[in-house]
Structure 1
Amino acid sequence: MEHAPIEIDGGVLDDLRAAIRGKVMVQESIRLLYSLDGSAYQVVPDVVVVPEDEVDVVRAVIIAGEEDIPITPRGSGTGLVGGALNVGICLDMKNLNSVSVNGDSATVGSGVSRGSLDRVLGKHGKMLGPNPSVGGFCSVGGMLANNAGGSRSVKYGSMVDNVTRITFVDGTGRMITLPDDESIGQDIMELTGLIDREKLPKVAKNASGYRLDRVGSIGETHKLLVGSEGTLGVILSADLNIIDEPKDKMLFVLGYDSAYTAMANCPKVVGTNPSACEFIDHHILSQADLGLDPGIDCILLVEYDDSLQERATMLRSIITGTIVAESDDQKEMDWWWDHRNAALHHSLIAVDKHKRTPHMIDDAAVPVDRMGDMLHILDGINKKYGTSIITFGHVGSGNIHARLEMDNTKTDAIKEIAGAYCREISKLGGTITAEHGDGFASSEFIEMQYGGQNYDAFKAAKRYFDPYGILNPDKKITEKSTIVEHLSAVRTFHGGKMALSKEAY
């Protein structure tokens, strides 16, 4: 085809159609639809496969291996770094959508949307701790692939802290359940012996590289798959820890005269054990129209979901800012959280479209007491390159989302800034990505962050589970520079319109 030619041989497509009970689609309009996600990148797959069930997934992976074709699982397409974009076979996991609740655990298919899971768990008075700001639109498979966290990660952790079992298909077509498979578990334990722990990020959450550091025993070997972005296996389902929904909550909105003042106060705020501690800077406040006093430069949203009066008393004793609002009324709290969850939207409309850059420095995390240093690095970038940077994020976990505003045609400068930022973040004991994943944006910087010994351990893990190199290639392990390679300047086709097909749904 003129715009998006198919590179896969017709005989392979026939094999897929014969083997797969679900859909096998090659229409250009459908492939263009799947060429985009929530990022600034675009890669057109050659074929879109929508497996009917787990058997279809196994068959698709086996064919991909036999024919040396890349195969990449895709959830809801909300990723911000192109993690689910690749050539070859795009595997839409939406039909693996079962949910089974058993006490404090839920077995969840990777295609289940977060919104659907919330509705099921809500009927049982339960919830899942991690809560990405994109809300109900992301999939559980994507949350696992990126080690999603969200605002509640300060208390409840990321996905790696909330999963007890994972079933997946590796690059040879083996269906594996960890930690149940102790033989494979022993092999993973050997891999953990290869890592240099001195070079690991000293942060509360991390989505960079492979999480060999979280595997302390055979009972934790499944954690290696969390944050692996479909490069070690196609996740089919997972057992997740779920918790009781809090009966009561209280929200404080704290105003500060500068971001530095807010960051300096954060360690003490975190010490009061909030269920959320979120930051919004003055750029976003100017778009949100919250009716704040002119002297307020930024705000923290601090929420508690237990021992409310005790927590409130502790908070009042340590804050250096001003209490803008406090409430235990759910409607009022939702109003504030709606604005926080719209921060990405506000950050986009605050920037001219020609100055919107890829999400490549926007997900770093550092130890909470080093966030002032993180702001200093960002200010240095602004001074050196004449840029502007919008900041918001999960500061209770040391995770600041930084949206870079600059001429997006200056790709060499974008790449230079990303490399410099990653180096400086690593010096602070931080990670280049806390919850968005490496994708195209930061895979090339993983070795810089972790050092050669750890990177060799990651490559060994990749070879073990994906010996043919077909699972989402050039993510996590790559010799290429991909940060600006697949940028989509327009993100549109055919005169600004993208033709959609009912067959895609």
Structure 2
Amino acid sequence: MDTMLPTALHDELSTLLGDGWLTDEAARRRHGEDDSRRWALPDAVAQPRTREDVVAIVRACRAHRVPIVARGAGTGTTGAAVPTQGGVVVSFARMNRIVEVRAADRCAVVEPGVLNGELQQALMPHGLFWPPDPSSAEVCSIGGNLATNAGGPRAVKYGTARDNVLGLVAVTGAGELIRCGGPYTKDSTGYDLTHLLVGSEGTLALIVEATLKLSPRPIAQAGLRAFYRDAGSAAAAVSRLMNQPATPAMLEFMDRRSLALLRHNGSDVPEAGAMLLVEAEGSHDTLPDVLAALGAAAEGEGLLSLDVAVDGAARDRLWAARRALSPALRTIAPGKINEDVVVPVSRIPDLVAGVEALADEFDLTIVAFGHAGNGNLHVNLMYHPDDAAQTARAHAALPRLFALVLSLDGTLSGEHGIGLSKRDFMADAFDAATLDAMRAVKAAFDPDGILNPGKVLPPPTA
């Protein structure tokens, strides 16, 4: 037994899970990291196949006061799935069944290990889709999407994971199986535990089944690409676009540094202060009117040029620049602090101006782009990890970025979650009474504090 766990716990879970109980160092290392580039060795990895397995795992770990960290596909960027206090990582890779697609009710019942991309493929014959579309959609799990309240470009119209889940089955830190919500879209019955658990990053309960709200696939789509003199002009256009009766399906923003990076890497984008990418949806009859209204809203002070693409190949070319941007960041520097901050749409110009001032003050390249319709921008602080001074400047700029966002009535995260990377900034975002209320909720669901300890909530001050 290559583990520090109590022998009784090891024997119980080894008997329960068989080859789904892993204690070798290679498996532990593989399950001890996520896309944050943080890692820590768990004492063991549990791979349950059923909800009953999960109940037994939690009850056994609770009896021995052993921490539990739930894990999806490991694509998170905040360290939420890193077992910093050891214990047992519960991997949901084997709980990967699409239990039922209820097309007539526009919902699907799935286990947490189902991959987002696999679900989308299964829904295509039904003419339906699940709206959350993070950049890792092909390889991330539904459980992880729910744990972090994942979003993506389509969130501007369809909302985040929290807006697209109807019900959950979950196991609390006390080892109790609870059910909340169900295959219906209206519910005024008791407390809304479904939406409380979504976004809680495995700190309140382990989700073992989800009933997801589905949407019909659009019949016709078209794209717009608009270049502006500066971020202020682009942000003003965002407000106009969001005031249209037909909400854009996607509305993405790129700052001038994003555009310069794309040009450096061969993309056909002109020099401009900012760019908006807009996706329109409708029927074959209504799409022309929607497109015309969005095009008119995009026009205004500071507009330099506007491109329209209706057919699929042309739309793909418009969106190629957005898809190429994240990989292109690595050509600037191998180190990246990627924060998914949110401000009111009207404050986007102030955020971009503040980011540019930070870049100058700390002598860093900072690139901002993202989901403008929600005011959710990805601010990327680029640095060379082998340059100690530059690394120090990047990490010194981070609290200043968060202070800027909060001063603009914003919030720390729109879709990545808090995890470890933003935990200690929660005290800046919330007052003591609010944090105490959150801790009380945590204690109610997880009385012994074994679920993902040390994440999301900062330690209480003495």
- Tell me the TM-score normalized by structure 1: 0.82
Which residue is equivalent to 2:251? 277
Structure 1 residue matching 2:253: 3-state secondary structure:
strand
Report the AA paired with residue 292 of structure 2: T
Compute the displacement of 1:414 (Å).
4.4
Of 173, 180, 197, the match for 1:171: 173
Q: How does 1:65-104 map to 2 (within 5 A)?
A: 65-86=62-83, 87-99=86-98, 100-102=100-102, 103=104, 104=106
Give the 3 Å change call, closer, same or farther, for CA 480–336 of structure 1 in structure 2. farther
CA distance in 1, matches of 2:275, 2:188: 38
Q: How does 1:143-292 map to 2 (within 5 A)?
A: 143-179=145-181, 218=190, 220-272=192-244, 273-280=247-254, 281-292=258-269
Report the AA paired with residue 439 of structure 2: K
Of 290, 294, 297, the match for 1:315: 294
Instruction: Name the structure, 1 or 2, with higher relative contact order (CA <8 Å, separation 6+).
Output: 1
Compute the displacement of 1:217 (Å).
6.3
Compute the displacement of 1:98 (Å).
2.0
CA distance in 2, matches of 1:141, 1:177: 16
Of 424, 445, 448, the match for 1:444: 424
Give the 3 Å change call, closer, same or farther, for CA 71–305 of structure 1 in structure 2. same
Of 332, 357, 372, the match for 2:314: 332
Structure 2 residue matching 1:305: 3-state secondary structure:
strand
Of 358, 363, 373, the match for 1:381: 358
Which residue is equivalent to 1:305? 281
CA distance in 2, matches of 1:474, 1:458: 14
Which residue is equivalent to 2:21? 24
Compute the displacement of 1:67 (Å).
1.3
Which residue is equivalent to 2:328? 346
Structure 2 residue matching 1:478: 3-state secondary structure:
coil
Structure 2 residue matching 1:32: 3-state secondary structure:
helix
Compute the displacement of 1:216 (Å).
8.2
Give the 3 Å change call, closer, same or farther, for CA 36–339 of structure 1 in structure 2. farther
Give the 3 Å change call, closer, same or farther, for CA 288–248 of structure 1 in structure 2. farther
Compute the displacement of 1:407 (Å).
4.7
Structure 2 residue matching 1:137: 3-state secondary structure:
coil
Unaligned 5+ segments in structure 1 are 181-214, 482-505
CA distance in 2, matches of 1:351, 1:480: 39
Structure 1 residue matching 2:4: 3-state secondary structure:
coil
Which residue is equivalent to 1:454? 434
RMSD (Å), alpha carbons:
2.3
CA distance in 2, matches of 1:286, 1:269: 26
Compute the displacement of 1:397 (Å).
0.6
Contact 2:263 2:269 in 1 (8 A): no
Structure 2 residue matching 1:423: 3-state secondary structure:
helix
Compute the displacement of 1:248 (Å).
0.2
Q: Which moved more, 1:245-254 or 1:41-50?
A: 41-50
Compute the displacement of 1:368 (Å).
0.6
CA distance in 2, matches of 1:331, 1:10: 60
Which residue is equivalent to 2:51? 54
Q: Which moved more, 1:395-404 or 1:279-288?
A: 279-288
Contact 1:39 1:358 in 2 (8 A): no
Contact 2:20 2:47 in 1 (8 A): yes
Q: Which digits, 9 at most, give the CA deviation of each residue in 1:295-351, with x for residues without a partner?
A: 33442110011232222222232324244531121233234334423432222x232
Which residue is equivalent to 1:364? 341
CA distance in 2, matches of 1:237, 1:323: 47
Give the 3 Å change call, closer, same or farther, for CA 287–225 of structure 1 in structure 2. farther
Give the 3 Å change call, closer, same or farther, for CA 248–385 of structure 1 in structure 2. same
Unaligned 5+ segments in structure 2 are none
Percent identity over the alignment is 30
Compute the displacement of 1:119 (Å).
0.8
Compute the displacement of 1:55 (Å).
1.3
Structure 1 residue matching 2:75: 3-state secondary structure:
coil
Q: Which digits, 9 at most, give the CA deviation of each residue in 1:216-245, with x for residues without a partner?
A: 862632100011000001111111110110
Contact 2:35 2:77 in 1 (8 A): yes
- Tell me the TM-score normalized by structure 2: 0.89
Report the AA paired with residue 21 of structure 2: V
Report the AA paired with residue 272 of structure 2: I
CA distance in 1, matches of 2:427, 2:342: 17
Contact 2:120 2:130 in 1 (8 A): yes
Give the 3 Å change call, closer, same or farther, for CA 50–352 of structure 1 in structure 2. same
CA distance in 2, matches of 1:325, 1:68: 59
Which residue is equivalent to 2:117? 115
Report the AA paired with residue 449 of structure 1: A
Of 5, 20, 27, the match for 1:8: 5
Compute the displacement of 1:83 (Å).
1.3
4+ aligned runs moved over 6 Å, structure 1: none
Q: Which digits, 9 at most, give the CA deviation of each residue in 1:456-495, with x for residues without a partner?
A: 11000100001111111111123299xxxxxxxxxxxxxx
Report the AA paired with residue 287 of structure 2: L
Contact 2:427 2:458 in 1 (8 A): no
